């Protein structure tokens, strides 16, 4: 799957993207609320290989997409089917330099529209660390609704954390 938004090109990753993607994930702040630690020089090849492999969304395999601006990868979109029929979960990470320019909102909004129209999913959800206020705001900007706040339900990086679930249906698109 690949598509364009007003300012961005969204496509599967290719070998040339390694350094741009490493730049995103070799950052404590970018990985603070993710399930994994920041990438290291030792594990970047292995981690990146997983993203390269995930280039088609199926019931069994997730999809990772590069968000490209002016020839540079500035973000990573992830999609995978959940156990529930026709339901997907989305995730996203962007470089610090992309922050505050509306790129994440534009890319995730485009992804959501593509998932509803091309893949005809019934529901899209995002599960996030409750401390990730930027991600909460992004979900709300694209029309997702906050559906749950779980208290200390997830053990992450040595501590119990709260989780928030956002969701939307095709009819929620603005």
CATH of domain 3-122: 3.40.630.30
User: What per-residue confidence (pLDDT) applies to 123?
Assistant: 97
Domain spans, the chain:
3-122
User: Rounded distance, CA 139 to CA 119, Å?
Assistant: 20
User: What per-residue confidence (pLDDT) applies to 157?
Assistant: 81
**Mean pLDDT for each 10-residue chunk of the chain (174 residues)?**
95 94 80 70 88 92 95 95 96 90 96 94 95 94 96 89 95 81
User: What per-residue confidence (pLDDT) applies to 31?
Assistant: 64
Phi, psi of 117 (to 5 degrees): -85, -45
User: Rounded distance, CA 2 to CA 7, Å?
Assistant: 14
User: Rounded distance, CA 32 to CA 27, Å?
Assistant: 9
User: Which positions ≥6 away from 95 have C-beta within 8 Å?
Assistant: 20, 23, 24, 27, 30, 74, 75
**Taking Cα atoms as reference points, which of 58, 59, 62 lies closest to residue 76?**
62
User: What per-residue confidence (pLDDT) applies to 151?
Assistant: 96
User: What per-residue confidence (pLDDT) applies to 128?
Assistant: 94
Q: What is the separation, in whole angstroms, between the first and last Cα of the chain?
A: 23
Is the separation of the CB atoms in 111 and 65 below 8 Å? Answer: yes
Is the separation of the CB atoms in 50 and 67 below 8 Å? Answer: no
Is the separation of the CB atoms in 127 and 90 below 8 Å? Answer: no
Is the separation of the CB atoms in 79 and 121 below 8 Å? Answer: no
Helix and strand numbers (H, E) in the chain are: 5, 8
């Amino acid at each position: 799957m690949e598509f364009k938004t007003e300012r961005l090109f969204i496509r599967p990753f290719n070998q040339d993207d390694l350094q741009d993607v490493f730049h995103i994930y070799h950052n404590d702040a970018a990985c603070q609320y993710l399930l994994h630690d920041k990438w290291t020089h030792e594990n970047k090849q292995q981690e990146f290989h997983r993203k390269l492999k995930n280039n088609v969304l199926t019931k069994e395999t997730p999809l990772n997409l590069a968000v490209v601006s002016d020839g540079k990868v500035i973000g990573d979109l992830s999609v995978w089917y959940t156990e529930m029929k026709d339901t997907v979960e989305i995730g996203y990470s962007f470089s610090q330099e992309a922050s505050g320019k509306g790129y994440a909102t534009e890319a995730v909004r485009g992804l959501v529209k593509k998932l509803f129209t091309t893949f005809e999913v019934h529901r899209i959800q995002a599960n996030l660390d409750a401390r990730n206020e930027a991600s909460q705001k992004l979900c709300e900007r694209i029309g997702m609704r906050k559906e749950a706040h779980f208290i200390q339900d997830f053990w992450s990086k040595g501590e119990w954390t709260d989780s928030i679930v956002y969701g939307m249906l095709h009819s929620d698109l603005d």
